[in-house]
Structure 1
Amino acid sequence: MQIQLTQKERMLLEDGKKQENLCAKKYQSYANQVQGPQLKNLLMEIVQEEQHHYNMINQILQGVQPDMTQKPINITTEAHTTFQGPSPKDQILLEDLLSTEKYVSGFYDTAVFEAADPNVRQALQHIQQDEQAHGEKLFNYMHSHGMYDIK
């Protein structure tokens, strides 16, 4: 089934594609900078999910029903025996990523409401739920390592 996009849908999808590309690059860059293997694995997992979102949006822009299934990935980095916990720099990177996820989730909230095609709307809702899950993973990591105090 060929998806016919409105001009507004196409514009929002192009913006979403740029956001997903930026997110994947940002997560990849930050994964290369963090200290601990657990955090590195978390960020690399999200890199793969952001790339999947980018691919889904590309499929929609090509008029194709997107494949919303993502193949499970197994990413492991070698444990560092001298790892002492997240650094202050890790906290800054995680705060930036959490802020990014909040922004991107809000972007998709608007895009969902602007989608005329039910298949596009469903794909955007799927991506938004993933983005919210990314934020939850980041929050949980930060909270469990004393970087996010919930008084």
Structure 2
Amino acid sequence: MKLPYSLALATLGLAASYAAYAATPAVTNAIKARQASYKEIGGAFKSINDELKSGSPDMNSVRPLARDIATRAALLPKYFPKGSGPESGIKTRAKTEIWKDNAAFVKLQGDMITAAKALDAAAASGNVAGLGAARTSLGGTCKSCHDRFRAEL
């Protein structure tokens, strides 16, 4: 049975469009790395919050957590290459606005890096009040970005 010419063209067009939008290995790896990093950052942030809520945080537990957050935050900008949003076909909470208003997103990433470094410095100093203030600042920075650039599940 011969396919009609128009059906063959439509099939070819669909295959070509799928190939154009299929995530490349680099995009797939970036999405996986960013999701893993954010999961680790969230876990570390929660642990620091729990320590602060205890009233007497164990700074020996907090220090490596704060250092991990700062280290991971510094790496995050490379995990948002073009094509790693919803158009990748991979489940992600990254909104297309990240690339539409990239200057605002990059600024918020810089704010996060700065706030994460301040959290790390406060933890390293052992200053509990400073740690609490730095935690609040970082949390606010995270919220600002999430409100604008992260999709709800």
Name the TM-score class by shorter chain.
0.3 to 0.5
Pair member with larger Rg = 2
In terms of fraction of residues, the more helix-rich structure is 2
Please give the TM-score of this superposition, normalised by the length of structure 1. Answer: 0.43
Please give the TM-score of this superposition, normalised by the length of structure 2. Answer: 0.43
